[in-house]
């Protein structure tokens, strides 16, 4: 079973790299730049249920929010300072996993409740690790799928070291968070929450939920990390979202 999984992962990774190489040639140019794979392009490819122009990196697959987070990692955190760290990466993005694994080694842990390629199967409302275990926790666009998101936030707080930090990100799509646990039909969830497997729409009061869990929170807007000309080149737009940097 482990061998089959390993071979499958190798095949997927080989295909991804080959596709990225071919697309990088097709989209060759200097007008756009992905800070994750350090590659320039004529443009990013369109992506989304309602296709967004200039959205996805054709080499590593990074979207707008991924490029923003990577910039934040590099500019605003100690993630890449070479010191050993234990990092929990929930619902790992393909654009990040190999790079973070190479940098962090055995301290890097990916988790997901459903993805068989994650290192461990984990319900984030019940994290089976000790108090103050992780130096870094990164969880992006997951909590909107979790019924008891407040319990998940408390678990992140419990397992984060006093000296550690977490980046917890959700799509902010309304002014005040709205949820209704009686809505379980996928088509109705799509209508109300914008996606079949979402259980709420988060508003600007998301930060209050994080603080209620015990976190101190610093918010960085998408347009604060680089000059406006670099924002355009990296494809950073309001849809990139904001960064919620959480500490104890």
Q: At what angle do helices 94-104 and 64-76 cross, to 10 degrees?
A: 20
Closest CA to 171 of 205, 199, 144, 145: 144
User: Are 201 and 143 part of one and the same domain?
Assistant: yes
CA atoms within 13 A on the CB side of 211: 9
- pLDDT for 2 equals 45
Say if residue 124 is in the same domain as residue 239.
yes
What is the average per-residue pLDDT within 226-246? 93
- Could you tell me if 233 and 32 are in contact, meaning their C-beta atoms sit under 8 angstroms apart? yes
The answer to whether residues 229 and 173 belong to one domain is yes
Stretch among 5-19, 119-133, 214-228 having the lowest mean pLDDT: 5-19
Q: For residues 69 and 140, what is the distance between their CA atoms, to the nearest angstrom? A: 9
User: In the chain, what is the greatest distance between 2 CA atoms, to the nearest angstrom?
Assistant: 50
Rg (CA), the chain: 18
pLDDT of residue 28: 76
The domain total for the chain is: 2
Angstrom distances, CA of residue 240 to CA of 2, 127, 134, 234, 248: 36, 28, 26, 11, 25
Domain assignment of residue 140, given as a range? 63-247
pLDDT of residue 25: 73
Q: What is the pLDDT of residue 127?
A: 98
Task: Tell whether the model's pLDDT for residue 220 goes beyond 90.
Answer: yes
Single pTM value for the model: 0.89
Q: Give the Cα separation of 172 and 166 in Å (integer).
A: 18
For residues 113 and 235, state if they share a domain. Answer: yes
**119-132 residues labelled b (16+ CB within 10 A) or e (exposed):** eeebebbebebeee
pLDDT digits (tens, 9 = 90+) for 157-176: 999 999 999 999 999 999 99
* pLDDT tens digit sequence for 56-108: 998 899 999 999 999 999 999 999 999 999 999 999 999 999 999 999 999 99
Of 17, 42, 62, which residue is a domain's last?
Answer: 62
Mean pLDDT across 201-206: 97
Bridge partners, residue 202, by sequence: 172
Distance of CA 239 to the CA centre of its chain: 13
Instruction: Say whether both 94 and 175 belong to one domain.
Output: yes
Residues 219-229: what's their mean pLDDT? Answer: 93
Show which of 62, 80, 99 is a domain's final residue: 62
Q: Phi-psi region for residue 132, left (φ > 0), alpha (ψ -120 to 50) or beta?
A: left
Read off the pLDDT band of 1 (50, 70, 90).
very low
Residues 42, 100, single domain; the answer is no
């Amino acid at each position: 079973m482990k061998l089959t999984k390993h071979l499958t992962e190798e095949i997927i990774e080989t295909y991804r790299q080959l596709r990225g190489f071919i697309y990088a040639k097709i989209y060759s140019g200097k007008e756009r730049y992905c800070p994750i794979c350090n590659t320039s392009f004529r443009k990013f490819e369109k992506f989304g249920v309602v296709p967004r122009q200039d959205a996805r990196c054709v080499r590593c697959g990074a979207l707008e929010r991924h490029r923003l987070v990577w910039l934040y990692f590099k500019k605003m955190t100690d993630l890449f300072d070479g010191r050993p760290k234990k990092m929990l990466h929930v619902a790992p993005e393909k654009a990040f996993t190999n790079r973070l694994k190479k940098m962090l080694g055995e301290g890097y842990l990916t988790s997901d409740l459903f993805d068989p390629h994650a290192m461990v199967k984990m319900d984030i409302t019940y994290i089976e690790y000790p108090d103050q275990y992780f130096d870094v926790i990164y969880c992006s666009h997951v909590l909107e799928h979790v019924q008891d998101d407040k319990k998940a936030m408390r678990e992140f707080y419990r397992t984060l070291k006093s000296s550690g930090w977490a980046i917890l990100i959700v799509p902010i799509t309304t002014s005040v968070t709205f949820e209704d646990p009686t809505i379980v039909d996928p088509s109705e969830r799509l209508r109300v929450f914008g996606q079949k497997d979402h259980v709420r729409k988060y508003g600007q009061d998301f930060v209050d939920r994080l603080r209620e869990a015990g976190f101190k929170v610093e918010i960085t807007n998408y347009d604060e990390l680089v000059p406006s000309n670099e924002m355009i080149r990296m494809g950073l737009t309001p849809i990139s979202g904001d960064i919620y940097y959480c500490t104890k």
